[in-house]
Amino acid sequence: MEKTRIWLDTDIGDDIDDTLVLEEILRNPSLDLVGMSTVFKNTPLRAEFATRMLRAAGREEIPVLAGSPVPIRGLTPVRPHETFSQWDLDEKTPDPGIHGEEAKDPHLVPRRILEEARKAPLVLLAIGPLTNIARTILEDKEGVLKNSRVFLMGGEYREHRPEWNLECDVEAFKTILYSGLDIRAVGLELTEKSTLSPAEEELLARTGSDPLGDFRREAVRRFQKSTNWPITPHDALALYMLLKEEKLDFLPVRHEVEEGTVDGQARGWLKEGKEVPGMKFLASIDMEDLHQFVLNLGI
């Protein structure tokens, strides 16, 4: 069976859902993770966290690059409850090392993604702010990405409310929206309904049959301890879309980005507009099936 080649772009380290996505990719025999990039704020620290997770899985050969820490345009937004929740709270923050140098080069991640896309069609799985993916599109002067696809979590397609990944880089979202690429998106209107029950959270925090499962179990425990947030696997829906696309219902995106400025910070949301060529959003989802998908990790 031919594997699906994936480049994962992630803001791993805050909410636990990125960690769950990476575990599923590493465990799924139909997927070939050819590289990863981190995005938003402390991208070297995010890259170090991802590197440690790959090491737990015995997959150190997969490249991890620290991508853009800041949006293409505007100021970096701040959440009042923002925390890097999955590090050992007693551990000294590690030296970013080579990842610190990577984050200084805005062309590094686009260059590496385009190198992989030249080899064979690629799925760009984007589960954070879209800065790195947008920069790649802007640097693709030869149309290398025309045979690749994008699966993303971002936007809100029903009630036109603000959504975090869009707000973190409004210009990047606009770049992707008007790129003409083959894109499947899942919005906040579905992901916000995916919160796990306390019993389901307990399964993720207690079960693990190998070093990768142990890593995830400890990350869940730290997330729960440092935040007291419920686990809402927003980003898992993007991977779920990819793996179950043929069984799901999608609608064409007929939206455009509305933006404004509040306290000097760019804010953005989707509003009704013309149909966007190549882009569709997930219309509905079986939450019970999604939860089973998440809970199957390493169990």
Query: Could you tell me which of 197, 196, 189, 195 has the C-alpha nearest to residue 284?
Result: 189
- Which domain CATH number covers 202? 3.90.245.10
pLDDT at 174 over 50: yes
pLDDT tens across 186-213, in order? 999 999 999 999 999 999 988 778 999 9
Between these two residues, 261 and 169, which has the higher pLDDT value? 169
Task: Give the per-residue pLDDT at 75.
Answer: 66
**pLDDT category of residue 266 using cuts at 50, 70 and 90:** low
Q: What is the mean pLDDT of residues 249-266?
A: 85
pLDDT at 119 over 70: yes
Pair of tokens at residue 293? 């998908």
pLDDT at 89 over 50: no
Q: Could you tell me the residue range of the domain that residue 63 belongs to?
A: 4-295
Q: What is the mean pLDDT of residues 123-152?
A: 97
**pLDDT category of residue 86 using cuts at 50, 70 and 90:** low
**pLDDT category of residue 151 using cuts at 50, 70 and 90:** very high
Domain count, the chain: 1
How does DSSP assign 112-136, residue by residue?
A: HHHHHHHHS--EEEE-S-SHHHHHH
pLDDT tens across 225-247, in order? 888 889 999 999 999 999 999 99
Query: Could you tell me which of 56, 88, 106 has the C-alpha nearest to residue 221?
Result: 88
* Residue 59 near residue 89 (C-beta atoms within 8 A): no
* Residue 131 near residue 67 (C-beta atoms within 8 A): yes
**pLDDT category of residue 84 using cuts at 50, 70 and 90:** low
